[in-house]
Each structure stands twice: as C-alpha cells, then as structure tokens.
A and B are shown apart, each in its own frame.
Chain A
Amino acid sequence: MTDTTQPGVTIDVATPYTLDDAVDLITDELRPHTPLAGGTWIMRAPLRGEDFAHRYADLGAVGSLTEIDWHEGGLRIGAMVTHDGLGRIVASVPQLRGLATAALTSANPGVRNIATIGGNIAATQFRCPDVTTALLSLRANVNIRTHSSRDAKLIPLHAFLESPSGGRHLITGAEFPLPSGPSAHLRLPLRAAGDYPAVICSVSTEVGRDGRMASATISYGALSGRPMRWRALEAAVNVHGFDPEFAEREARVLAPALTASDSPGVPADYRRGVLPSLIGRAFADCHSQMKGAPWFTTSS
C-alpha cells in the first residue's frame, strides 16, 4: 500500500493564507475541505485502509495559527504550533513542567517538529495524545471557528473532548491560565522511548497563600477513547490532601470505575492497574519541585 491515489481521482489541496479563508474553505457547504495541520495523522490514512479526502485546506500558510503568546496571565497557543515549538516556549516556565514534558518527550524528535497542538486535539481517533492530556489538566479552553459564525467560540477542552463539535469547524488554538503550582506529566510507553504510551496522566496544581498545595487538577489518557478529567480523584485529594501515597491509594480504589479498553498487547486491566502508580509518581514529582522552589510566592 503506497499512496493509493486512485487513478482518475484528484485531490485538491488549497492553501489559504488567512484564517478567514481557511474557515471558509473548511465550512463550505458544497465543497468542504478537511483541515490539514501537521499531517502526521492524515498521511497515514492509507495504512489505516482509508482513502484520502478529496479536498484539504492546508493550514501551513496561515501565519496567525503559529502564534504563541502570553495573554492576560495565561498562554495562548495557535493550532499550528508544533510540539517542539510549544515545548521550547514552556520549558523554562516552572509551573508548566508537565506540559513541557508532554510536548518534548512524546513520539520522537522528527514527529515533534511537525505534529501540531491543533492536530493533537482534533484527532478524535488518536488514543494517546500527550499534549491534549496535559492541556486538560491545565483546564484549557479551545478556540473554535464554526460555520455558523465568523466569531470564535471558546469551549472548555473537557467539553470539546466529551462531545466533539458536530459539523464543520476549525480549531484555531488553545489557551489556559498560568497555574500557581507545579505540574507533572507522566507517560508510559512500553519501550524506554519512542512509542505511543500505554497510559498517560497529568497533574496540575495551585498553591495557596501559605505556599502549600491547595488544589489539583488531574487528567488521564490512553485508557480508552479521549483523555478525561479524573474528577472523583480530584475531589478526594482536594479534600484530603495531596500526599503522593494517599493519592495513589485513592486512585487504586477509584480506578476500577474508569473505562478502559484493550489494544494489541496492552490489556485494559494493565492500564487501570498502573495508572494509580503514575498518579503517585506525578504527585511526588510535584512535591519535589516545591522543595526549595523560589518561584512561587505567597502573594499572587
């Protein structure tokens, strides 16, 4: 199986230069174009036995989609920012260690240079999106343009993941407020590196005026379907505290209720079984970041 472009079938790839043009192409009623972001998912369509779409809108020339900037105490990331691009910006931000890990260690160096944040969020069939899982723990919102209006809509990422927009739309970016506490992202590939993780978890925290951890947001991914917030576990730690061993024990109690599925060589039980350990390690990581950390202050 190579490019499987059927003889006689033409594929049209349009290259819009502005966001409005891109949205028009994507939401066009008669001739809708599929968004083409990094391409790492779409280019493997033949391997999944799928045909290419007949029309694509290549987002590579829309400059505004590659912008990444600090805005009102938070970070705004354009949909076409690559993993590597994101990672390099957030690597130096102490509270965003988790997002940096997700951006800089998922897949491999080459894929990180082309796979985009927007593509990561949008690939509904992709089981283990690291960056999306980390963004979920950062309570990110997703910026969407749809056919109904030229205005952007801001939807909480968790809502977008739970019920993705029906109808034609373009994810233009994600944004989240900068947390006050440390974060951690743990991914568990089966090899030491380079493969898709069997389990992912992300923890982001806020610290109170007393300089101690005050709340945590927890997400997990790769268990099944899309990444999810672990609200039951959040409730437990937000009430009883963030001790890593407690978090792990509690996670172990709650894990059987999570939906998980098998994939070849990786049973659902394994995923549910190791996630609690990763939770414990994530909290341990956050705590050790806090030891002697001068970057957080009691005043916000």
Chain B
Amino acid sequence: MVYHLVVNGEGHDISASPMCSLSRVLRERLHLTGTKLACGEGFCGSCSVLVDGNIVPSCLVSIARAQGHEIDTIEALTAGHPTVSAIAAAFVEDDVVQCGMCFPGMLVAIRALLSRNPKPTRSELVDGLTGNLCRCTGYARLVDSAIGVIDNIASVETAK
C-alpha cells in the first residue's frame, strides 16, 4: 500500500506494509537516520519523534497510523527553537556527548517538554527524560548542561 507521510513539513509517498514501523520508514526510506532504533520496544527513547507536536516512540507507530499526522524528526527540530538550539550547542560546548546514539532522542524529549512547559525545574526536566536511556554518559552532565541553559534563559527573562 502507498501511504502519504508528512515529515519535517515535506510530503512523501511511501509504499510499505501497513504495519511497517515509522522508525524503519524514516531511516530506510527517507534516509533520516538521526532517529535511532536501539531497542524497538518503546523503552529507550532513541527513536523518539514528534507527532503533532507530541513525543512518541516511532518504533511503535505503524505507517498506517502515521498517515495524516505531522511528523517532526531530530533533523528539523533544533532549527527554529532557540532554547533547543542553545541546549544542543551547550551539549557540544560542555562536552557531554559520548557515543552519540541517544542524544537525538534526548533533544526530541526536551523539545516536547519545552513546548508544554517553557521553564521546567530540574525535577520536571528529569521527569521528562524518564523515557530516554543513555548507556554512555551517566546522565548527570547532560542534565546539568540543559538546566544551565534553561535557568539562564529564565533569569534573563526575569531580569527583563
């Protein structure tokens, strides 16, 4: 069957079995490999994308279900959102990335969280990341890095 998917604002017609996962479609057909597939069960968060602005594990979304919704992947998510871009830059500058496989999912989760709650506390940020596993970094530094940016923006705004 042919499905019409809207990904990062662009339309694509994709022929696939209806139960083919969105994660495979993104990676193998659209070459958007920023979305990873570390577990395939919805537990690791590395396949996270936004569907209509909400974070979902793309490995558990069928292409049939994905049709008719707006899908945004990491490739399009840092642009146009100053805080998320600043956090991505901080991750680089603060040297918190290691192997790199979980970070796209982390940023998607942060983007989703910020769209609901622009100034999360550390505890709220951590709650928002409970669906994102990381095997390399041990989390603490990436949380520090993100909170640093968020608190900075919050204090700049308070100062205004």
Q: Are B45 and A3 in contact (CB under 8 A)?
A: no
* Closest B residue, CB atoms, query A40: B60
Q: Chain A residues near B20: list those with CB within 8 A.
A: 3, 5
One of B4-12, B51-59, B92-100 contacting the partner: B51-59
User: What does the 1/0 interface line of A53-72 toward B look like (CB < 8 Å)?
Assistant: 00010101100000000000
Count contacts on B: residues with CB < 8 A to the other chain: 33
Bound together, the chains give a CA A109 to CA B68 distance in angstroms of: 22
Contacts of B40 in A (CB 8 A): 47
**Stretch of A110-118, A179-187, A199-207 lying at the B interface:** A110-118
Q: How close is A48's CB to chain B, nearest CB, in angstroms?
A: 10
Assess whether B85 is interfacial by the CB under 8 Å rule: no
Could you say which residues of chain B place their CB within 8 Å of the CB of A2?
24
List of B residues within 8 angstroms of A195 by Cβ: 43
User: Complex formed: what's the CA distance from A114 to B64 in Å?
Assistant: 14
Most buried by A among B20, B43, B59, B65: B65
Complex CA gap A114/B60 in Å reads 9
Q: What is the bound-complex CA distance between A12 and B128, given in angstroms?
A: 36
Beta-carbon contact of A44 and B130 below 8 Å: no
The smallest C-beta distance from A118 to any residue of chain B, in angstroms, reads 15
Q: Interface of chain B, helix or strand or loop or mixed? A: mixed
Decide if B45 touches A43 in the complex (CB within 8 Å): no
**CB-based contact B17/A11 at 8 Å:** yes
Q: A56-B18, A109-B112 are in contact. Are A43 and B59 (CB under 8 A)?
A: yes
As a 0/1 sequence over residues 1 to 42 of chain A, the CB contacts with chain B under 8 angstroms (1 = contact) are 011010000111101000000000000000000001001101
**What is the distance, in angstroms, from B59's C-beta to the closest C-beta of chain A?**
7
Which chain B positions have C-beta within 8 A of A109?
55, 109, 112-113, 128, 130-131
Instruction: Tell me the complex Cα distance, A62–B5, Å.
Output: 20
Q: Known contacts being A47-B40, A47-B41, A111-B60, is A84 close to B54, with CB within 8 Å?
A: yes
Taken together as a complex, chains A and B put the C-alpha atoms of A47 and B19 apart, in Å, by 14
Q: Bound state CA distance, A112 and B150, in angstroms?
A: 25
Expressed in whole angstroms, the Cα–Cα distance for A225 and B21 within the complex equals: 29
B145 interfacial contact with A, CB 8 Å: no
> Is A246 engaged at the interface, CB distance under 8 Å to the other chain?
no
Is the Cβ of B42 less than 8 Å from the Cβ of A39? no
Q: A44 is contacted by which of B45, B51, B60, B113 (Cβ under 8 Å)? A: B60
Instruction: Determine if B18 and A111 form an interchain contact, defined as CB atoms under 8 angstroms apart.
Output: no
| Bound form: Cα–Cα A11–B18 in Å | 7
Residues of A within 8 Å of B64, CB to CB, are 13, 15, 56, 58
Chain B residue with the shortest CB-CB distance to A84: B54
Tell me whether A194 is interfacial, beta carbon within 8 Å. yes
Question: When chains A and B are docked, how far (Å) is the Cα of A29 from the Cα of B104?
Answer: 46
Interface residues on A, range: 20 to 34
Q: Which residues of B contact A259 (CB under 8 A)?
A: none
Contacts of A60 in B (CB 8 A): 65
Task: Please indicate the chain B residues that have their CB under 8 angstroms from the CB of A42 in the complex.
Answer: 19
C-alpha gap A194/B127 in the complex (Å):
10
Contact status of A108 and B130, CB under 8 A, knowing A11-B17, A56-B18? yes
**Contacts of B18 on A, CB cut-off 8 Å?**
11-13, 56
B62 within 8 A of A: yes
Chain A neighbourhood of B131, CB < 8 A: 107-111, 194
A52 at the interface (CB under 8 A from B): yes
- Known interface pairs A39-B65, A109-B131. Does A13 touch B19 (Cβ–Cβ under 8 Å)? yes
A193 an interface residue at 8 Å Cβ cutoff? yes
Q: With an 8 A cutoff between CB atoms, is B48 at the interface?
A: yes
Complex interface bits, B19-41 against A, C-beta within 8 A gives 1, otherwise 0: 11100100000000000000011
Q: What 16 additional pairs, Cβ within 8 angstroms, besides A43-B19, A194-B130, A194-B131? A: A5-B17, A11-B19, A12-B18, A43-B62, A52-B19, A56-B18, A56-B64, A108-B131, A109-B128, A110-B42, A111-B42, A111-B60, A113-B54, A114-B57, A193-B130, A195-B43
User: What residues of chain A have their CB less than 8 Å away from a CB belonging to chain B?
Assistant: 2-3, 5, 10-13, 15, 36, 39-40, 42-44, 47, 52, 56, 58, 60-61, 84, 107-111, 113-114, 193-195
